[in-house]
């Protein structure tokens, strides 16, 4: 909202609802030039262990708000899971966020640690992870080759855009993301590819998938080529283990 400081609004909300907070941060698009009239306040709150951990959506002083509320223990567990998945919204909200509350100095430490981990990047992808992404893109390109329904072509093209972006980011050692942030990460990693991929997607949505197909195969060629026949995965232990 024009003329309203989102940082002050977010800090007021935290002070009013979470006076016991050890640390709190405002992150997300609201702090960037990409802020729009519908941008929400992404607020991370960390309270002492023993309090509930939850996510909640609400409206405060006309602002849409997304609360991510945890404790030191559950915050660390969330980070561990997200970092392993190579996509950590929580890490970025804290590491690139503005401190709203800091009762004991932990907010400064957490933001410093998160910023360092962001800079470090995700762990190197394993060959198996790369092959999984190659297989997914190869399969989608086969679907695109066989598509005759214009509506289905749009759906397949959307999935291909995501598959290409995730493969390029993973191979390049970049963090993954969802939604609009996926495009932003790809634009940072490879601006030329980002532009070409958007143009190709628009072409596919308009009925001409040739450029999108070409980009897909070019990206696959960088990492060993198309992968379908010969792909093999053993089911994970949580599926094949004995009944609980």
**Which residue segments constitute the domains of the chain, with CATH numbers given?**
6-120 (3.30.460.10), 127-222 (1.20.120)
Q: Give 1's pLDDT tier (boundaries 50, 70, 90).
A: low
Predicted TM-score of the model (pTM): 0.90
pLDDT, mean of residues 220-228: 97
Two tokens, residue 213: 């197909």
What is the C-alpha separation between 185 and 92, in angstroms, rounded? 12
For 50-67, how does the pLDDT look when each residue is reduced to its tens digit (9 = 90+)? 999 999 999 999 899 999
Say if CB 117 and CB 34 are below 8 A apart: no
By residue count, the chain amounts to 244
For the chain, percent of residues with pLDDT exceeding 90: 89
More confident residue, 210 or 1: 210
How far is 94 from 163, CA to CA, in rounded Å? 27
Cα 50 to Cα 72: distance, rounded to the nearest angstrom: 10
Each residue of 87-117: pLDDT tens digit? 999 999 999 999 999 999 999 999 999 999 9
- Please give the mean pLDDT across all residues of the chain: 95
Q: Are 89 and 177 in contact (CB under 8 A)?
A: yes
Q: What CA–CA distance (Å, rounded) separates 35 from 6? A: 11
pLDDT in tens, 121-162: 999 999 999 999 999 999 999 999 999 999 999 999 999 999
d(CA 168, CA 79): 23
């Amino acid at each position: 909202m024009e003329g309203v400081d989102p940082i002050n609004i977010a800090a007021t909300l935290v002070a009013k609802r979470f006076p016991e907070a050890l640390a709190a941060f405002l992150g997300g698009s609201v702090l960037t030039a990409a802020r729009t009239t519908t941008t929400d306040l992404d607020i991370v709150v960390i309270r002492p262990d023993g309090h509930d951990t939850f996510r909640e959506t609400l409206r405060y002083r006309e602002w849409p708000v997304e609360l991510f509320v945890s404790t030191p223990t559950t915050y660390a567990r969330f980070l561990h899971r997200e970092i392993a998945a190579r996509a950590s919204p929580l890490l970025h909200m804290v590491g690139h966020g503005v401190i709203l509350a800091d009762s004991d100095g932990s907010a400064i430490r957490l933001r410093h640690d998160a910023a360092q981990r962001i800079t470090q990047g995700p762990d190197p992808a394993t060959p198996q992870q790369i092959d999984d992404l190659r297989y997914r893109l190869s399969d989608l390109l086969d679907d695109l080759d066989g598509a005759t329904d214009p509506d289905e072509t749009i759906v397949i093209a959307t999935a291909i855009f995501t598959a290409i972006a995730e493969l390029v980011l993973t191979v390049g050692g970049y963090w993954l993301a969802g939604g609009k942030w996926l495009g932003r990460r790809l634009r940072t990693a490879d601006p030329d590819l980002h532009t070409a991929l958007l143009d190709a997607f628009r072409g596919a949505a308009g009925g001409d998938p040739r450029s999108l197909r070409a980009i897909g195969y070019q990206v696959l060629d960088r990492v060993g080529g198309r992968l379908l026949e010969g792909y093999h995965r053993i089911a994970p232990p949580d599926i094949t283990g004995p009944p609980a």
